[in-house]
Amino acid sequence: MFDEIVVPKSYLRNLINKEEEMLFRKDHVFQTKDFDNVMDLYKVFGQQLYKLDRSVSFLGDENEKWSKVNDNVSINFYDNVTDKKGDRYWMEFEFAFLNGKIDKKDLISLKLSATKEEINDIENMWDTEQGILDKYRLNSFSYRFFSWLEARFKKITNWARKKHSIPLEIRKEAYEKSGRLKVDPDCLKMYDDN
């Protein structure tokens, strides 16, 4: 998993040339793994770092609530983009924030990763492989039989797992007596199906 960060292309201008700037949308969405990797959304606005408060808003909601992030942090963010000719580029940047404000910006990489012809060759290769594999899956009795058998075993395994799962009340009692519930009040959340 990863988080995303929205960076206006105007913040990249002194790092890239005009031709490279055309690869970006006005408010480009990049991926980053420099936060908690829980699919949060961040943005750079007014030289400041913000985080979308998902507890009160949803993406696209006109009442979005963004909270300032006042940390000292370096954020590496990246994306793959395709230009008008169909060529694919890899781009990677790093912004350093001091008390949540942009302190330093760096271009780590912006390079052609595959031409349109290379991309088409790879897709044709995959299509050829999948055609042969799909034909085998369709025509092989043993493949179909054991796939069917595997699906039935999965259902039985899931049924059996549910039959021997520890009830939440018993787990809560164990965690209370061990002291885990005091140390980590959220430790039962992963077991609560409600």
Question: For residue range 60-91, what is the model confidence (pLDDT) as tens digits?
Answer: 566 788 999 998 999 999 999 999 999 999 99
pLDDT beyond 80 at 37: no
**pTM above 0.75?**
no
As to burial, measured by CB atoms within 10 angstroms (0-12 exposed, 13-18 middle, 19+ buried), residue 49 is: buried
E strand segments, 83-191:
88-98, 101-114
For the chain, the structural domain boundaries read: 3-114, 115-163, 164-194
Rounded distance, CA 129 to CA 170, Å?
Answer: 51
Q: In what helix (H) or strand (E) does residue 44 lie, and over which residues does it extend?
A: strand 41-45
